[in-house]
Structure 1
Amino acid sequence: MQRVVLASGSPRRKQLLEWAEVPFEVMVANTDESYPANITAIQDIPVYIARNKAAAVQHKVKDRNIIAADTIVVLHNEVIGKPIDREHAIEILQRLSGQNHLVITGVVIKSGEKEIAFADITEVSFHELTTEQITFYVDKYKPYDKAGAYAIQEWIGVVGIKSINGDFYNVMGLPVSRVVQALNDLHHVSSDSF
């Protein structure tokens, strides 16, 4: 497989591509993670942000595939971003406690002028969490760089999540099997075009 560029500093996305044995290098450019208010379909939000991440590194990359991704958490049609501090992280987890929410990862894969873009959606259900569980998790794991203030592969996911419907790895930050399929499709399309 052709070496790819991961336009993300996320250690989880890096780990998932390593597990999939996709050869890659990380190249990150700081990008604005805001989005226009007129985006009507909520799953288009992370795709929009991922597209900006891909565009930010594209001028530095020649003849390689770029993978960019962004993950959001959605509770009752409201986008829950990354917590700004300890109190905000606790408040977010209190809101998610006992509820179902969606984790949506937008992925953009670019190869020259070609682009594959999609959103992968996983439904996650939390048990009722106690204040003690929430504060223990926030104080020990400091989930300030994570949408929804949690990581499914950490303690809170092990003890707090009742069920998931969809791709587990999507909740970690990258629907990696779908990404590998898309890379194969892109390579196949590129081969056929000669």
Structure 2
Amino acid sequence: MFTLASQSPRRIELLRELHLEFDCKTAQINEQALLETNKNISFHDLVKKLAMAKAWEVFEREDQHYPVLAADTIVILNNKILGKPENGQDAKRMLIQLCGQYHEVLTGVSMIDEQGETAFVSASRVKFRPFSPQVEDIIDASIRSGSALDKAGAYGIQ
């Protein structure tokens, strides 16, 4: 048994597919403040720190006696973080910006229990197709479905 410090439908689904026993708690951290106060560290260290902050917040708040798992994902394009879009228009802007470009998807993962913590970062280098009318149709469909609105960089890789 462990706690997932997330309400992410994608993370919950992945863990359920593994038939693991867990419950979910939302981490109550100020991600923007963490981003602002950690501008001078690498993106790898930043995403790891975000995941660790989420895990520690739930572990301490819930007075856990079993492990807490947390993760955070950021998308990096041209040395800048693409966060979650504010709305459909912002999602479309991000996705068009990613067209034809290599970018990096970083996921920090942290597990905390009574013995301590462990954390790592998974990195993927991704390139989208160049922009075209067909790609725009795919982008528009993604935005209409709502799937682009709750993910860093306006898309997800599972």
Tell me what 1:99 maps to.
101
Separation in structure 1 between the aligned mates of residue 64 and residue 87 of structure 2, nearest angstrom:
39
Tell me what 1:191 maps to.
none
Q: Which runs of 5+ in 2 are unaligned?
A: none
State the shift of 1:19 in Å.
Answer: 1.5
With the length of structure 1 as denominator, give the TM-score of the two structures. 0.72
Contact preservation (8 Å) 1:39, 1:45:
no
State the shift of 1:65 in Å.
Answer: 0.7
The 5 Å alignment of 1:1-194 reads: 3-34=1-32, 35=35, 36-59=37-60, 60-130=62-132, 131-152=136-157, 172=158
Aligned residues: 151
The residue type equivalent to 1:138 in the other structure is I
State the shift of 1:135 in Å.
Answer: 2.0
Tell me what 1:161 maps to.
none
State the shift of 1:17 in Å.
Answer: 1.0
Q: Which runs of 5+ in 1 are unaligned?
A: 153-171, 173-194
State the shift of 1:20 in Å.
Answer: 1.9
Describe the SS at the equivalent of 1:18. Answer: helix
With the length of structure 2 as denominator, give the TM-score of the two structures. 0.87
Describe the SS at the equivalent of 2:43. Answer: coil
- CA offset digits 1:20-39 (Å, max 9, x no partner): 22221111132211222444
Describe the SS at the equivalent of 1:30. Answer: coil
Separation in structure 1 between the aligned mates of residue 141 and residue 84 of structure 2, nearest angstrom:
18
CA RMSD of aligned residues (A): 1.6
Task: Give the percent of matched residue pairs that are identical in Structure 1 and Structure 2.
Answer: 34
